[in-house]
């Protein structure tokens, strides 16, 4: 019928893709744990700011730092894992 298509050099088989997805989920969980340990609820607390405001500020800071860490490190991690 025609020529068989060649697989691209970076193309992974199904089982390799499943393993990669599991590794990526584990790495993202590690990123979240690192960020949570550094920016806990008492991070940079002071007497001038209420405890609820400090907690809200740190929740926002954790989300920002997690996304930043993921954007900076995840692509290189996937490239090395392949």
Residue 16 is predicted with a pLDDT of: 87
Residue 1 is predicted with a pLDDT of: 60
Using DSSP, how many helices (H) and how many strands (E) does the chain show?
A: 2, 0
Residue 11 is predicted with a pLDDT of: 78
Ranges of each domain in the chain: 14-40+48-81
- For residue 7, report the phi and psi dihedrals to the nearest 5 degrees: -75, 140
3-state secondary structure of 41: coil
Q: What is the pTM of this model?
A: 0.78
pLDDT digits (tens, 9 = 90+) for 18-63: 999 999 999 999 999 999 999 888 888 888 888 899 999 999 999 9
Tokens 């019928």 correspond to 1
User: Is 4 or 24 the better-scoring residue by pLDDT?
Assistant: 24
């Amino acid at each position: 019928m025609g020529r068989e298509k060649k697989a691209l050099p970076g193309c992974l088989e199904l089982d390799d893709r499943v393993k990669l997805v599991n590794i990526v989920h584990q790495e993202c969980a590690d990123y979240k744990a690192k960020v949570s340990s550094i920016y806990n609820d008492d991070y940079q607390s002071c007497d001038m700011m209420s405890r609820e405001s400090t907690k809200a500020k740190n929740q926002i800071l954790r989300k920002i730092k997690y996304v930043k860490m993921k954007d900076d490190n995840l692509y290189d991690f996937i490239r090395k894992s392949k």
